[in-house]
Amino acid sequence: MLRARRHIAIALGATLALLGATVGATPALGANADACGTITQHTLAKAFELSKTIEHKALLREPGDPSGVIQERCNAFAYTGAKPTSSAKRRASLLAGTGAEVKIETWVADSGPSAEVWLANFDRKLEALKKQAKTQYVEGLGGSTYQPARFGAEGSAGYRGNAGALRKARVIWWQRSSGTLIVMSAVEAKSKPLPASLLTLGATIVPGVL
């Protein structure tokens, strides 16, 4: 009798574990929303063949947000020479080829039950980001799309175009299993190797976020 009860308890435990894994379970999520935190400021500058970086980070959606997503933005300006202390000086640095403007935005599914909300809306957000990039770079700047390296992500999409003497590029990486989106944009002088420099940065950041 005791042995039979033990077998029943084991079977019941296994059944409950299976149900927990398949019904209403929160997926295992381990992505890191802090993209700029995955590299040093020196590494960021070096990707653009520059030496210093000004960096500002903002947490736009915190853990526990009802949307089920953690969203963070990192704005950086890499440069060589005197620190550009105004928008006019940063633009002059861009035009001279001694500066690069970088923007990284990440969306990562939260670890709580609200993650299901974000995962349900994931494809809609991804398509909206693609449409926005196509409108801005292809239609607005007369640019083109391209297929960038994935660096371990499920998918990627690239966009590039020229605006006067400046070259602009954006890459979107995504991973549905962790509910992760990474959008990296950069601006450099036409003489600089964009989007190659942006992909150099992505090679470090994307695996660090995923």
pLDDT digits 0-9 by tens, 138-156 = 999 999 999 999 999 999 9
Structure tokens at 190: 């036409």
Q: What is the rounded distance in angstroms from the CA atom of residue 70 to the CA atom of residue 177?
A: 15
Is the pLDDT at 59 greater than 70? The verdict is yes
Is the pLDDT at 165 greater than 70? The verdict is yes
Residue 201 within any structural domain of the chain: yes
H helix or E strand, kind and range, residue 173: strand 166-175
Domain total for the chain? 1
Percent with pLDDT over 90 in the chain:
79
Which CATH number belongs to the domain containing residue 39 in this structure?
A: 3.40.1000
Neighbours of 184 (CB within 10 A): 25
H helix or E strand, kind and range, residue 77: strand 69-79
Q: Position of tokens 């083109």?
A: 144
User: Collapsing DSSP states into helix, strand and coil, what is residue 99?
Assistant: strand
pLDDT of residue 112: 87
Q: What's the predicted TM-score (pTM) here? A: 0.84
Preceding omega of 193 cis (within 30 degrees of 0): no
Q: Residues for the chain: how many in total?
A: 210
| H helix count then E strand count, the chain | 5, 7
Place 10 in a pLDDT band, splitting at 50, 70 and 90. Answer: very low
Residue 195 within any structural domain of the chain: yes
Could you list the residue range(s) of the whole structural domain that residue 108 is in?
Answer: 27-209
Is the pLDDT at 12 greater than 60? The verdict is no
H helix or E strand, kind and range, residue 88: helix 87-96
| Average pLDDT for 53-58 | 95
Place 71 in a pLDDT band, splitting at 50, 70 and 90. Answer: very high
Residue 20 within any structural domain of the chain: no
pLDDT per residue as tens digits for the range 174-202: 999 999 999 999 999 999 999 999 999 99
Which of 107, 105, 72, 71 has its CA nearest to residue 181?
Answer: 107
Neighbours of 194 (CB within 10 A): 21
Residue 176 within any structural domain of the chain: yes
pLDDT per residue as tens digits for the range 114-139: 999 999 999 999 999 999 999 999 99
Residue 12 within any structural domain of the chain: no
Residue 5 within any structural domain of the chain: no
Residue 163 within any structural domain of the chain: yes
Residue 8 within any structural domain of the chain: no
